[in-house]
Amino acid sequence: MTHAFARIRRFHFNLPQRIAASMLLLFLAQGLWLTGHQALSDRDYQYARCGRETWERPSPLAGYFTTCGNIHDGVFAYRLAGLPITLNLLLNRAADLFRKPEDRILQPGTGQSIAELGTWELRHQMTHILLLLRLPFLAAGCILGAGLWWVTRRLYGNMGGYMALALYCFSPAILLACVTPTAEIFATLGVYGGIYTCIGVAHAMQGPRRKWRPRILLLTVLFGIAAASHIAALPLTALLGLALMLWVAEGRRSQVLPVVLLASVGALVIVFACYNFSPDAFSYLFRSAAGFLWISLDPARRFFSSLRNAGITVAAAAALLLYLGARRSRYFGNTAPLLCALVLFLLVTTGVPATPWLWALPFLLTFVGGVFADAFEGPHGKLAIAAACTVVLLQVVFCLLSLPGLL
């Protein structure tokens, strides 16, 4: 049996995985409910039009990447927003061969090609444009949730993973990011996945070199997603990942920096590819203010003072008290996500709209799941489980109350 098939056979879909999958289905159902209560906005048409242009044709404006201009940040979100619509158009063009002339997407005699027809002109011919636009963002949210579950369950066991995933699946901030055409959910996926993959690479360095390569390749891809979503996310992810790798990789610290540099260079190549290998469009990324960051307490204050995040706020406060008061909770698995969350919650972007506090949220939930998992195994485990169920239920109630048209 080959190594690849052996890895597939080791994958199990038992009760813990089924519970996690059910939670993610509830998360997806909420996202689809929100999508069903939205209307197409100017932002939607902008992402659809300019996202399609990155796939279908260059901009007719000389010197610009798209009719939106040179996209100086978040090009990955534009590309993925336009991809389902482009694929849908290609399928419709193939289906036109079997349709009556009056039912075709491209009417005879218009003289227009698929690329020349705008999303506005196609809104009556194409169904579910709004859903097609949001599918990549919802998919990214589900992948991020699955990654959060994998990390927390591996570190803290089933109960810690359940708590972190439950708070994630009923987080209004995450849901809103998954039904809004912005780069935030992709940046969150890249930052969280990139940092924990750095830790995975550092652990793999203690073993044979053959185990390094797939993890370094995954690290490069995640760094690329972070960089193509927000260029400021790349140095943040690389620096935090580097610090944690140096913490973990005892005896291999001299090899940590080359690995991070290699992944960072590969990430820039991925960003270059997202700009169709156009030097002008790519260089504009570094001539804008997309990478400017500053420090502010306002994002954290707004997040934790919002009633919609009441369950997460109570859980985070309780986890911090337990972390400071219980010596057994102060170890690398809990300290690493806490430090990442604190750094990201304090940052704001000054050059482009971005929400680093959202990038911090999965780390905060990881910290909460880890500290509560320690409490579940302590002398007052039943009380800790009851408290965890209470804060999760509180978050579920406030999240559902925030959904339009549900009540």
What total of structural domains would you count in the chain?
Answer: 2
Dist. CA 245–CA 178, nearest whole Å: 30
Assess whether pLDDT exceeds 80 at residue 3: no
* 122-164 pLDDT tens trace: 554 455 778 888 999 999 999 999 999 999 999 999 999 999 9
> Domain range holding 107?
42-122
Q: Are residues 105 and 191 in the same domain?
A: no
* 341-368 pLDDT tens trace: 999 999 999 888 889 999 999 999 999 9
Assess whether pLDDT exceeds 50 at residue 174: yes
Is residue 305 a part of any domain in this protein? Answer: no
Is residue 35 a part of any domain in this protein? Answer: no
Is residue 238 a part of any domain in this protein? Answer: yes
* Per-residue pLDDT at 5: 43
Q: Write the CA distances from 378 to 322, 338, 382, 386, integer angstroms.
A: 11, 21, 9, 13
* Per-residue pLDDT at 118: 56
Dist. CA 233–CA 359, nearest whole Å: 9
- The residue among 266, 289, 312 that closes a domain is 289
* 99-114 pLDDT tens trace: 777 666 655 444 445 4
Kindly indicate the confidence band of residue 310, based on its pLDDT and cuts at 50, 70 and 90.
very high
How crowded is residue 112: how many other Cβ atoms within 10 Å of its Cβ?
12
Is residue 170 a part of any domain in this protein? Answer: no
Is residue 387 a part of any domain in this protein? Answer: no
Dist. CA 29–CA 34, nearest whole Å: 9
Reduce the secondary structure of 357-402 to three states and give it as a string.
HHHHHHHHHHHHHHHHHHHHCCCCHHHHHHHHHHHHHHHHHHHHHC
Q: Average pLDDT for residues 188-193, to the nearest whole number?
A: 97
- pTM value is 0.91
Is residue 313 a part of any domain in this protein? Answer: no
Dist. CA 25–CA 19, nearest whole Å: 10
* Per-residue pLDDT at 11: 65
* Per-residue pLDDT at 124: 47
